[in-house]
Amino acid sequence: MAMMTGKEYVESLRAMKLRVYMFGKRVENPVDDPILRPSVNSVRMTYDLAQGPNYKALMTATSHLTGETINRFTHIHQSTEDLVNKVKMQRLLGQVTAACFQRCVGMDAINAVYSTTYEIDQKHGTSYHENFRKFVAEAQTKDWTIDGAMTDPKGDRSLPPHKQEDPDMFLHVVERRPDGIVVRGAKAHQTGMCNSHQVLVMPTQAMGPDDKDYAVSFSAPADAEGLFMIVGRQSCDTRKLENTDIDVGNAQYGGVELLVVFDDVFIPNENIYLNGETEFATMMVERFAGYHRQSYGGCKVGVGDVLIGASAVAADYNGVAKASHVKDKLIEMIHLNETMYSCGIACSAEGTKTASGNYLIDLLLANVCKQNVTRFPYEMARIAEDLAGGSVGTCLSEADLRGEFTGPWVAKYMKNGTGTTAENRMRILRLIENLSLGSGAVGYRTESLHGAGSPQAQRVMIARQGDIEGKKKLAKRIAHVKED
């Protein structure tokens, strides 16, 4: 089996013994929990779309390890065309779900670890790359959803890992055995971990020689002994418990973030991909960050397409669609959205082959892409709220629309007299709220700022890769500057 159906994916989660906690209590059935189920549905779409012929070119690829047709989310990029198709696939899924579909982190992680392990082996004579090739081949054959885990709690961020008052602020090795290692710590902001089959751990930052125990990369089943997850809160999340369709905004799809705790988890040697080679932590971090910053030029653009459409519908319902300033605001949203997409495509098209054979995006352009994503969705959300009008923040509830006494009044005063129903107008307002203010913020607005690194993280990389000295030489040559 190289690809699961969406139904098979859901059933594969049921077969796992995931330890998930929410609101202080264990969730006995994460798959069907009303708060968590929309996030499962989003991941399921990555399986369903890969089954039919319409999106085969985007959703599938040919494995260079097995020769089988596989889901692109488990693929090791073999060309710049693969990199471009990845971004196009992510835009498609953003359009279909209007949410975070959660497999991007794992796809980006496997590509970063793949090339990095090859270069570690070349220097140290280790067997990490062969270990990892076997892991990827199994992931492709079983069509796993993999959670890429990089971000540590970090503690006092002015101190390196080995100087933290609490050593668990960075995930680290606490015991080395002949057959493997034992790790302790946590990974924060873990997108879709409760919907994943495996977790692929990477270091979170550059490491010095004294941080050897923290320079670790490995994979483990999501239900490994000693591993458990705590679900993060989202604005409006408990609306999903209220038996409401309208008030949620996007009732079918969503994203979820978790704190993942490793409480002395044993990792066998064959699942270790970095173990103390501190000088390679930076490479792994930068390559993963680059791939993931490329991803935002696809997924956030697809969700942005939905937000633009919702804003245009809101303008129609408000009877202002023909106003020149409204048209101009929609044009501005399109301009911002396509600019992000252009960066995602550009860093893909300019990708290059690594020593291991897989393709890496242009890191400078990937960081420029993500820098734009930290800004443009905020402006798009502002414009969307402007076009929607004040009702986006004061919209009445579905219970009021259905109420015996309140229903007729809500139906009368929420329809706006432009030929639509109150229910349709409320649905569009709630969708805009979901994307710009509510629980959809994890999949769009707030995640656009912090996902794949904060704005300053990209600026550091842009400064490093921007070649200021080379640009100085260009200017001096043109100006005929002569220096001693």
For the annotated catalytic residues, the residue numbers are 100, 104, 191, 257, 292, 296, 299, 447
Residue closest to 211 by CA, chosen among 185, 178, 173, 155? 173
Rounded-to-integer distance, Cα 90 and Cα 377, Å: 16
Residue closest to 461 by CA, chosen among 285, 312, 231? 285
The one-letter amino acid code at 242 reads E
97 is in an annotated binding site: no
Rounded-to-integer distance, Cα 292 and Cα 281, Å: 17
Residue pair 184/262 in contact by the 8 Å Cβ criterion: yes
Residue pair 83/359 in contact by the 8 Å Cβ criterion: yes
Helix (H, G, I), strand (E, B) or coil at 176: strand
Q: For residue 335, report the phi and psi dihedrals to the nearest 5 degrees.
A: -60, -45
Q: What DSSP character marks residue 195?
A: G
Residue closest to 200 by CA, chosen among 281, 139, 143? 139
Residue matched to tokens 């690194």: 453
Structure tokens at 300: 């956030």
- Tally of helices (H runs) and strands (E runs) in the chain: 17, 14
Rounded-to-integer distance, Cα 53 and Cα 60, Å: 10
Question: Which alpha helices (H) appear in 62-186, and where do they start and end?
Answer: 80-97, 104-124, 128-142
CA dihedral 80→83→89→91, nearest 10 degrees, is: -110
CA dihedral over 28, 32, 35, 36, signed as positive or negative: positive
Residue pair 71/60 in contact by the 8 Å Cβ criterion: yes
Residue closest to 442 by CA, chosen among 63, 133, 99, 117? 99
Residue pair 415/425 in contact by the 8 Å Cβ criterion: yes
Strands of 236-384, DSSP E: 257-268, 272-275, 352-353, 359-360
- Radius of gyration of the CA atoms of the chain, in A: 24
The distance in angstroms from the start CA to the end CA of the chain is 68
Annotated binding residues for FAD: 191
